[in-house]
């Protein structure tokens, strides 16, 4: 789909500097711009690329004044905030690409299921008994929706996603490819012979509105009750959330984070990649956890934690400085030990 500079300026309420009729059909980074693509410049660090870019249109801030001649083929669209306007365009472009309502074949919708208006169901999609699907939901091919699942309006489930029985998704959620919601929690009890007997996991998963979950994540169902993902949570790829965990509003987790059973994560918590959080603890609202850190116990007051076990980041930096000095300190100790032995020999 093509858009002219004039149309883009109209969407963004910007000003065209150059050819208003030039059109683009794709997007590019400014350093990799090619003919027919749209790019943007907001960070002065990248200004040098605008003088050589091959992009046809570039979104810039209204206060941008070129210090060198621009390419003759480049048209500018000047706006108040180039970064946010480019993000707005990306969102608009994404909406234009959204699947139109359609039920492809082969696919399956149980007779007892109810589906709202505007459903797109891709080939080999499955909607189970008593499931309730809201309006304008997009379900890509090979998605499994189990019995008695509820999915709110405007949700998108990408290829291969699985939602087990009785789980609940709010509105405006995005579930990426390969993610599994509602698999059994890791519950086993040892008997007198040291053998592990499975504990039935009879709870569910509740995901509130505006949640986005990356590819190949696992959100385990509760043993009893619910595993809960609160409104606005964003999870990266390959995140593991165990049974009966609760994640507070607007919390974000980077790739490969693992949260053990029954942990309660507060609101607006930020967790870096590969961090591990032990079970049956609480994390205070606003806490920040640095990548690869380990949190073994409750965090009662918001702080930035680093290391394993996680400690306040400034304490960690001081400790790490001492750790790096250990070889030097050991050498000094060996030298001192040698001198003490020599002095002892002389005195004797």
Can you give the residue ranges of every domain in the chain? 3-96, 102-314, 322-347
**Active-site residue, from 142, 158, 176, 243:** 243
Please give the mean pLDDT across all residues of the chain: 94
For the stretch 299-337, pLDDT in tens is: 999 999 999 999 999 999 888 888 888 888 888 889 898
Summarize the confidence of residues 145-167 as an average pLDDT: 98
User: Is residue 132 a contact partner of residue 150, using CB atoms and an 8 Å limit?
Assistant: yes
Q: Do domains 3-96 and 102-314 have the same CATH topology?
A: no
pTM recorded for the entire structure = 0.83
SS3 track for 191-249: CCCCCEEECCCCCEEEECCCCEECCCCEEECCCCCEEEECCCCEECCCCEECCCCEECC
Q: Tell me the backbone φ, ψ of residue 68, rounded to 5 degrees.
A: -140, 165
Homologous superfamily (CATH) of 102-314 is: Hexapeptide repeat proteins (2.160.10.10)
243 is catalytic: yes
Higher per-residue confidence, 149 vs 317 = 149
Q: How confident is the model at residue 348 (pLDDT cuts 50, 70, 90)?
A: low
CATH top-level class of 3-96: alpha beta
Q: Encode pLDDT of 61-97 as tens digits.
A: 999 999 999 999 999 999 999 999 988 888 887 777 7
pLDDT higher than 90, residue 169: yes
Most confidently modeled of 17-31, 33-47, 120-134? 120-134
pLDDT band of 211, cuts 50, 70, 90: very high
* Mean pLDDT, range 142-165, rounded to an integer: 98
Instruction: Check pLDDT > 70 for residue 289.
Output: yes
Segment 98-114 mean pLDDT: 94
């Amino acid at each position: 789909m093509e858009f002219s500079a004039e149309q883009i300026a109209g969407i963004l309420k910007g000003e065209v500097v150059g050819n208003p009729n030039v059109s683009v059909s794709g997007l590019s980074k400014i350093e990799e711009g090619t003919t027919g693509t749209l790019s943007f410049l907001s960070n002065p660090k990248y200004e040098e690329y605008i003088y050589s870019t091959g992009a046809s249109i570039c979104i810039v801030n209204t206060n941008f004044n070129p210090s060198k001649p621009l390419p003759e083929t480049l048209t500018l669209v000047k706006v108040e905030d180039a970064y946010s306007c480019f993000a707005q365009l990306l969102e608009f472009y994404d909406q234009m690409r959204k699947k139109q309502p359609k039920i492809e074949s082969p696919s399956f919708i149980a007779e007892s299921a109810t589906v709202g208006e505007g459903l797109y169901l891709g080939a080999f999609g499955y909607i189970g008994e008593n499931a309730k699907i809201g309006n304008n939901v997009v379900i890509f091919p090979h998605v499994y929706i189990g019995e008695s699942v509820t999915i709110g309006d405007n949700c998108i489930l990408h290829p291969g996603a699985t939602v087990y029985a009785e789980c609940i998704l709010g509105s405006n959620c995005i579930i990426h490819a390969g993610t599994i919601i509602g698999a059994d929690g890791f519950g086993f009890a040892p008997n007198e012979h040291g053998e592990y007997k499975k504990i039935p996991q009879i709870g569910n998963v509740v995901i509130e509105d505006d949640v986005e979950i990356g590819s190949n994540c696992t959100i385990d169902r509760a043993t009893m009750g619910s595993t809960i993902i609160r409104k606005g949570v964003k999870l990266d790829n390959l995140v593991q959330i165990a049974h009966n965990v609760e994640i507070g509003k607007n919390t974000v987790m980077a790739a490969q984070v693992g949260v053990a059973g029954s942990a309660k994560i507060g609101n607006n918590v930020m967790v870096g990649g590969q961090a591990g959080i032990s079970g049956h603890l609480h994390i205070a609202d606003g806490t920040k956890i640095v990548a690869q850190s380990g949190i073994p116990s409750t965090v009662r007051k918001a702080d930035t934690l680093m290391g394993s076990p996680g400690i306040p980041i400034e304490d960690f930096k001081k400790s790490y400085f001492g750790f790096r000095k250990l070889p030097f300190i050991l050498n000094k100790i060996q030298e001192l030990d040698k001198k003490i032995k020599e002095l002892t020999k002389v005195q004797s």
